[in-house]
Amino acid sequence: MSENTPAPLSWPFREAERIAERLKQKGKDHALFETGYGPSGLPHIGTFGEVARTSWVRKAFTDLTGLPSRLLAFSDDMDGLRKVPDNVPNKAMLKEYLGRPLTKIPDPFEKFESFGAHNNNRLQEFLRTFGFEFEFASASDYYTSGRFDDALLHVLRHHEEIVNIILPTLGTERRATYSPILPIHPRTGVVMQVPIEQVDVDNGSVVWTDPADGTKYETAVTGGAAKLQWKADWAMRWYALDVDYEMSGKDLIDSVKLSSSICRALGKEPPVTLTYELFLDEKGQKISKSKGNGLSIDEWLTYAPKESLSQFMYHAPQRAKKLFFDVIPRATDDYIAAATALPTAEKPHDNPAWHIHGGVLPEHAGSPIGFGMLLNLASVINADSPEMLWGFIRAYIPGADAESYPFLARLVHHAIAYNRDFVAPAKKFRAPTKVERAGLTDLAKSLAADEQAQYPGETPAEKLQNLVYAVGKRHPFAPLKSWFDCLYQVLLGTTEGPRFGGFIALYGVERTVALIETALARG
RNA sequence: GAGCCUGUAGCUCAGUGGUAGAGCAUCCGACUUUUAAUCGGACGGCCGUGGGUUCGACCCCCACCGGGCUCACCA
């Protein structure tokens, strides 16, 4: 960026400025970005949003400062399995392993060496599909390799302080048993939530009692023999890795606050954080993985290009947004507008497409026809194949095809799916009146008879349009518009439609005849 | 109880200090072999309320009112 360019106002750049300021104060010359994943952790649309948004901030940071950075995708795979998920096989087996770290539980899908490894693999595969640049990190690896040992001993030294930060936030029953340190049971392998009776800083260990049989154990806090409870875990990680930036949903506001306090108690300034708003379903409720409400990534990508999902995630992260089918067309058209405006934008850094494409707009981005428009057309002509739509598009842009307009070709593909699943099912076919029935019968007969006839210099569409018009004239339709209304309402189930001759030419004469017969049979 | 978001045209929403906007809906007109994937126009707003800062506020600050969500067990 040149000195004269005004500072971009877009939120990723504002976040980047906050990070740059932090680095300046700390005297750091590189930045660590982190995103975290819970143990239930199969990738979902929120995962995409968090990594996409973090990546945009990171790109803005690079652009702003020129400093190196890393993005760590950290999996909490050492957390104990609390309950058996609904959507996995081998539930009975999993039940036997409840309470143990995910990386110590066999993979219910029988593909990887553990359930944790399975989830980790799925996550990385997911992130790679979208082309995110990241480094994967496993909590189990970090704990067992000793990478966290220094920080864990440090936590032990501040044990009382940390307990005092957390205690006021807990209910009375929990207060009695709370400790940020969760020993792994040396015999059963279960992550234990037990009172810590003694903290031995010199030995780096804690003493606790197994409530099942009263046995007393002394467990090292290092080397993976123990792990930390959630909020302390987050704080310790920030401390140990010196994380500079991490965003999270607003459901974690209190956790961010407490973890930040703990991080400070350990002696380091917590990272720059951003709290983003949650996604709501069509009824305004929080999207929940277990409830399965809202919209999945796969569903979104069925109905619109992935750029539109990025556009949706880019826009106003601190604003609650409905994540449902009906937001897709607008997100898509917003993206198209941004991509179209980017090449001539005065402030490209403020354009969503700049962020979505990492600063470089691909060739053929954007579309001469909006998605909403295309949906309208698909609905009106009952499009069930790309060629039907292309026929109309070519009337508008001569010579257009999938090769010259590749992005439009993707839109066409998606418009058909969206129309099929959301628009078409809402259609209503009404029964024909007596007069209409006669007209339709006439039309079917005339179409079948005239199929071979062709006047010189006349396109099939014109010929068919004339035929439809002539049939209407032969019957008492007044005004003639009502004859065409009948065609749309009875045959297509819509209130309006395309020039009917063109529709027949595209749809096929025989199929149109069949369509009429179906409608007559229905009436 | 703690916190966050939100209030702008009939609807859905843009709009980060300089003349209030878009899409849809509605109405009028052009076209006339219906239709709109067309073109032109109109209608429509104390920008939730009250105060403050400012030469100037939809925008920043404070208070209030309305709508909604999240967390208060676990992660």
User: In Å, what is the separation between the CA of A325 and the C1' of B3?
Assistant: 30
Q: Retrieve residue A73's tokens.
A: 């995708």
pLDDT value for A5: 38
User: In Å, what is the separation between the CA of A306 and the C1' of B5?
Assistant: 27
State the nucleotide closest to A38 in CA–C1' terms.
Answer: B75
pLDDT value for A105: 95
Residue-wise pLDDT tens digits, A446-497? 888 765 555 555 566 777 777 888 888 788 776 677 787 788 778 877 666 6
pLDDT value for A10: 83
Q: What is the rounded average pLDDT of the residues A237-256?
A: 93
> Which among A142, A124, A130 is positioned nearest to A55, based on CA atoms?
A130
pLDDT value for A127: 93
For chain A, percent of residues with pLDDT exceeding 90: 44
Task: Report whether pLDDT(A398) > 90.
Answer: no
Average of per-residue pLDDT values in chain A: 85
Answer for the pair A482, A433: CB distance below 8 angstroms, yes or no: no
Query: Which residue is nearest nucleotide B13, judged by alpha carbon to C1' distance?
Result: A330
- Cα–Cα distance, A229 to A178 (Å, whole number): 9
State the nucleotide closest to A373 in CA–C1' terms.
Answer: B37
State the nucleotide closest to A37 in CA–C1' terms.
Answer: B75
pLDDT value for A122: 92
DSSP letters spanning A465-516 = HHHHHHHHHHTT-SSTHHHHHHIIIIIISSSS-S-HHHHHHHH-HHHHHHHH
HSE value, Cβ hemisphere, 13 Å, CA-based, for A256: 16
Bridge-partner residues for A207, per DSSP? A198, A218
Q: Retrieve residue A495's tokens.
A: 């209130």
Q: What is the rounded average pLDDT of the residues A130-153?
A: 96
Torsion of CA A224, A227, A232, A238, to 10 degrees: 30
DSSP letters spanning A226-252 = EEE-HHHHHHHHHHHHT--EEEEEGGG
Q: Do domains A11-168+229-276 and A434-522 have the same CATH topology?
A: no
Answer for the pair A222, A203: CB distance below 8 angstroms, yes or no: no
> Which among A164, A165, A155, A243 is positioned nearest to A206, based on CA atoms?
A155
Region of residue A286 (phi > 0: left; psi between -120 and 50: alpha; otherwise: beta): beta
| Segment of A39-53, A155-169, A352-366, A377-391 carrying the highest mean pLDDT | A155-169
């428009």: which residue's tokens? A373
- Cα–Cα distance, A267 to A247 (Å, whole number): 21
Answer for the pair A247, A275: CB distance below 8 angstroms, yes or no: yes
Q: What is the CATH number of domain A11-168+229-276?
A: 3.40.50.620
């969206």: which residue's tokens? A418
pLDDT value for A118: 94
State the nucleotide closest to A389 in CA–C1' terms.
Answer: B37
| pTM, entire model | 0.87
Q: Considering Cα of A171, then A173, then A176, then A178, what sign does the dihedral take?
A: negative
Bridge-partner residues for A227, per DSSP? A182
User: In Å, what is the separation between the CA of A390 and the C1' of B19?
Assistant: 44
Residue A126: its H or E element: helix A115-129
Enumerate the domain spans of chain A: 11-168+229-276, 279-356, 371-426, 434-522
Task: Report whether pLDDT(A1) > 50.
Answer: no
Q: What is the rounded average pLDDT of the residues A321-330?
A: 82
Higher pLDDT, A260 or A420: A260
pLDDT value for A290: 53
Worst-scoring range by mean pLDDT, A7-16, A266-275, A331-340, A407-416?
A7-16
Sequence letter at residue A290? S
Q: Using a 7 Å cut-off to protein CB atoms, list the covered nucleotides of chain B.
A: 3-6, 12-16, 23, 33-38, 68-75
Task: Report whether pLDDT(A178) > 80.
Answer: yes
Cis peptide before A39 (omega within 30 of 0): no
Q: Complex ipTM above 0.85?
A: no
Query: Which residue is nearest nucleotide B67, judged by alpha carbon to C1' distance?
Result: A284
First vs last C-alpha separation in chain A? 68
Higher pLDDT, A288 or A376: A376
State the nucleotide closest to A466 in CA–C1' terms.
Answer: B33
Burial of A257 (0-12, 13-18, 19+ CB in 10 A): middle
Higher pLDDT, A503 or A139: A139
Higher pLDDT, A370 or A20: A20
Confidence of residue A8 (pLDDT cuts 50, 70, 90): low
Task: Report whether pLDDT(A322) > 70.
Answer: yes
User: In Å, what is the separation between the CA of A175 and the C1' of B8?
Assistant: 48
Residue-wise pLDDT tens digits, A268-321? 999 999 989 888 776 666 666 555 566 788 888 999 999 999 999 998 888 888
Higher pLDDT, A274 or A7: A274
User: In Å, what is the separation between the CA of A316 and the C1' of B51?
Assistant: 30
User: In Å, what is the separation between the CA of A314 and the C1' of B14?
Assistant: 15
Query: Which residue is nearest nucleotide B2, judged by alpha carbon to C1' distance?
Result: A254
Task: Report whether pLDDT(A521) > 70.
Answer: yes
Four-way CATH pick for A434-522: 1.20.120, 1.10.1740, 3.30.310, 1.10.10: 1.10.10
Task: Report whether pLDDT(A439) > 90.
Answer: no
User: In Å, what is the separation between the CA of A250 and the C1' of B4?
Assistant: 7
User: ∠A103-A114-A204 over CA atoms, to 5°?
Assistant: 20
Could you give the C-alpha distances from A188 to A98, A99, A183, in angstroms and in order? 11, 9, 11
pLDDT value for A121: 94
Q: Considering Cα of A501, then A504, then A506, then A509, what sign does the dihedral take?
A: negative
